[in-house]
Structure 1
């Protein structure tokens, strides 16, 4: 069978005993080592965010990040199931749903930080009240998650290639596209606000001057920007991965998946 014709794969009639891994949707048995490493990384991160949330009382942020890490860990657990059985229905459903949902929770954590950054630099500089950043972007994130959840549910419920799986794929694509739109809108507002911060740099919040000058705060800003860029690229990759349909060449490239989705 040709890899350029994924529609010929009848994965629902294959088992690990009757078909090679190349006949599966992904065309390979996912790496055991890589996925085990990601499970460890995200599990440890979830523990750290939990402890951090308890110590600093950043409840909403910590919950969003813990849920994101939890989805990542379980999703990679599903890929380990696919390592042992590339045709595992449970493994496929776990990883396709949870690894698609995870960025929405992680993005929510990033969105929640903007309100506090605006307060730190100066709420009077912002065009809108700090709380509205949270209301707007978390609402968009929930909508994106709902679309992806509905799509993932339909795709995982499909018993074979057909209209149900295609509908699920289209809903997931819509959710991912809306998530990318939200991320870009977020970047636009952040950029606009910090341009105003620069223009009013002598009018910033005097009570947080020491915090803004601290090395930890600068490291935090760098980590936040890095997280945003990683989430944005991951969502764009997911759109490209899903756009070609199930079993397309991008979906069947494990190296690209590890670099652009897992990292």
Structure 2
């Protein structure tokens, strides 16, 4: 059933017992166990992030981004479980679609914020980006992520209106805008990963040339660099970034064929490339939380570099 062609009366009267799942929004029987597992995982992670935030009282913007992203994921998977009991409920489908699509963009914002602390600990001279202040525009990626988030939200809303009005034109337009938002997120993440790799090579090159003088000599920065936790934190940031990038590429391919393409209707790929990848990414940053791994090198406020 191509999305947008369904008869509203059919959707209202359908249940799993009376209609084939191939006439539902999902085109497959939702796996209840997998979605409950994701809901539980994200709920536990939310408690962990809130606990660390209350305990350490630092990395506030990171904490806000990760908490908000987890709340959005929880709402999305709660609606997906709701859909399990009736896969023809339009509101459950739309809320799930929008929430689970948007959440990783919020997680990306939290990851971008961490780049500020990494640059500060190694020394701003090692970065190609020469920020005057690391505030909400940290590393110049946050505005790009916000733009991606807005595009995806607008696209989701347009598609939702089109679905409600059974307008194929609006559904197509919404899908195009949503896809553009995901494409921009993929591009931003690719730039972020490229600059992270470039930063690592620049640090290595300058350290070979200048020795320890190439790095920040602030005592707190020196202490952080000597910590194994800081190394593990950088690995966690790299892993989370790659996994979210992988997930965004998957969603981009999925939406390229609209809401009724072959990739969209493959539940196994969805579970693996959406739920599993995001759980691992967010878990990595919970285990190697910046507030714990960078110690006294970070304060309660976002650092300012002049």
- TM-score normalized by the length of structure 1: 0.92
2:173 corresponds to 1:167: yes
Aligned position for 1:152? 156
CA distance in 2, matches of 1:138, 1:123: 18
Aligned position for 1:25? 25
For the residue of structure 1 that corresponds to 2:240, the secondary structure is helix
Distance 1:187 1:23, change over 3 A: same
Aligned position for 2:279? none
CA distance in 2, matches of 1:153, 1:9: 18
Aligned position for 2:202? 196
Q: How far 1:7 sits from its partner (Å)?
A: 6.3
CA distance in 2, matches of 1:7, 1:40: 30
Distance 1:135 1:125, change over 3 A: closer
2:136 corresponds to 1:125: no
CA contact (8 A) 2:154 2:178 kept: yes
CA contact (8 A) 1:173 1:243 kept: yes
- Write out per-residue CA displacement over residues 177-200 of structure 1, whole angstroms, 9 at most, x where no aligned residue: 000010011112212222110012
For the residue of structure 1 that corresponds to 2:156, the secondary structure is helix
Distance 1:9 1:89, change over 3 A: same
Aligned position for 2:108? 107
Distance 1:110 1:91, change over 3 A: same
For structure 1, the 5+ residue unaligned runs are none
* 1:10 counterpart (1, 6, 11): 6
For the residue of structure 1 that corresponds to 2:141, the secondary structure is helix
* Aligned 1:107-256 pairs, distance under 5 A: 107-130=108-131, 131=134, 134=138, 136-158=140-162, 159=164, 160-201=166-207, 202=211, 203-206=214-217, 207=219, 208-256=221-269
Greater relative contact order structure (CA < 8 Å, 6+ sep): 2
CA distance in 1, matches of 2:35, 2:198: 39
**What is the aligned-residue RMSD (CA, Å)?**
1.8
Distance 1:218 1:188, change over 3 A: same
CA distance in 1, matches of 2:68, 2:130: 27
Q: How far 1:62 sits from its partner (Å)?
A: 0.5
Aligned position for 2:282? none
When the two structures are aligned, how many residues end up with a matched partner? 259
For structure 2, the 5+ residue unaligned runs are 277-306
Q: How far 1:156 sits from its partner (Å)?
A: 1.6
CA contact (8 A) 2:154 2:177 kept: yes
After TM superposition, where is structure 1 displaced by more than 6 Å over at least 4 residues in a row? none
CA contact (8 A) 1:32 1:83 kept: yes
Q: How far 1:164 sits from its partner (Å)?
A: 1.0
- TM-score normalized by the length of structure 2: 0.80
More moved, 158-167 vs 222-231: 158-167
